A and B are shown apart, each in its own frame.
Chain A
Amino acid sequence: MEAIIFSIVAAVAVVSGIGVVIQRRAMYSALLLVANFFCLAVLYILLGAYFIAAVQVAVYAGAVMVLMLFVIMLLDVGHPEPLERRFRPFKPLGIVAAVAFLTLAILVTLNSQTPARGGVPDLDNITAVATALYTRYLLPFEVTSVLLLAAILGAVVIAHKREVKGTSENGAGRVLLDPQRHLVHDRDGGRVPEKERAHDLHVR
């Protein structure tokens, strides 16, 4: 049984990993990367590393990929079709999936009489990891927290729009103060739409 699961999951992981590299569009490779992460989480569970599997799903498949997708959608590199038309064929599929999930959730909620804390399988692994983490590796652990803090600050500082710049791009000699409008203006490749420009003039 384990061998079957392993071979299936490993095959999916390899295929999706190759797909990430081969795929032309960033969005598709991101979604394939999510699939790959989940496969890796299953592999970790098979290897008995429950804690790492949970962290894999939470950190990678959750946080990192959401950040990644966010940036991909924000920058959206070269999509000729608008998003809505591309997703239209999948609409019935989405409805079916939503209804299936809802019924499943309701059934599970109604039928679960056993208490959740009944049989937690094999906590030894997690305790072992925690013991090692908080005793032998305590110093690296704390250094990691400092690293995360530095990363947060660095990301904010780098991604933050520089306000003081002397001249703005449309040569008006002043920086647009509204960040929303500045973003729109930026995305448009320097060309300010007619309405925006009128609005700008009005503001000035």
Chain B
Amino acid sequence: MAGVFLRKNALTIFMSVELMLNAVNLAFVAFARMLNQVDGQVFVFFVMTVAAAEVAVGLAIIIDIFRSRRSVDVDDLSALRG
């Protein structure tokens, strides 16, 4: 799950983030099952919503970056480096 730090392609980083969110979701559902409560599943529902929103906004940002720089390599994005 540490693919976020290793990859350079912004899209792959994004997919790794999705993967981590899914791992958390699985843990939530497993614990909800273990504790015999439904709250975990409700929380998974919220996590999914937030993930969907995050994907929409993030992909829009990636498209915008690609438009202005013609690359989605995060190493190119060093404009904020001190």
Q: How many A-B residue pairs have CB under 8 A?
A: 143
Chain B residue at minimum C-beta to C-beta distance from A21? B3
Binary CB contact string for chain B from 32 to 75 against chain A (1 if under 8 A, 0 otherwise): 11000011011011101111111111011111101100101000
Once the chains bind, are A159 and B64 in contact (CB under 8 Å)? yes
Interface of chain B residues 9 through 24 with chain A (CB within 8 A):
9, 11-12, 14-16, 18-19, 22
What is the CA–CA distance of A72 and B72 in the complex, to the nearest angstrom?
Answer: 10
Once the chains bind, are A140 and B22 in contact (CB under 8 Å)? no
What is the CA–CA distance of A29 and B14 in the complex, to the nearest angstrom?
Answer: 11
Q: Is A74 in contact with chain B by the CB < 8 A criterion? A: yes
Partner of A75, one of B18, B29, B52, B72: B72
Residues of chain B contacted by A68 (CB below 8 angstroms):
11, 14-15, 55, 59
Binary CB contact string for chain A from 1 to 41 against chain B (1 if under 8 A, 0 otherwise): 00000000000000001001101001001100100110010
Chain A residue at minimum C-beta to C-beta distance from B71? A77
Q: Is B77 in contact with chain A by the CB < 8 A criterion? A: no
Q: Is A198 in contact with chain B by the CB < 8 A criterion? A: no
**Count, chain B residues at interface, CB 8 A:** 47
- The DSSP consensus for interface residues of chain B is helix
Chain A residue at minimum C-beta to C-beta distance from B44? A52
Q: Is B80 in contact with chain A by the CB < 8 A criterion? A: no
Residues of chain B contacted by A184 (CB below 8 angstroms):
none
Selecting from A90-98, A106-114, A128-136, the interface stretch reads A128-136
Known: A158-B57, A159-B63. A52 touches B11 (CB 8 A): no
Q: Most chain-B CB neighbours within 10 Å: which of A40, A52, A186?
A: A52
What is the CA–CA distance of A37 and B61 in the complex, to the nearest angstrom?
Answer: 24
What is the CA–CA distance of A190 and B68 in the complex, to the nearest angstrom?
Answer: 11
Residues of chain B contacted by A29 (CB below 8 angstroms):
12, 15
Q: Is A48 in contact with chain B by the CB < 8 A criterion? A: yes
Residues of chain B contacted by A128 (CB below 8 angstroms):
38
**Which residues of A does B touch, CB under 8 Å?**
17, 20-21, 23, 26, 29-30, 33, 36-37, 40, 43-44, 47-49, 51-52, 55-56, 59-60, 63-64, 67-68, 71-72, 74-75, 77, 125, 128-129, 131-133, 137, 140, 144, 147-148, 150-152, 154-156, 158-159, 161, 186, 189-190
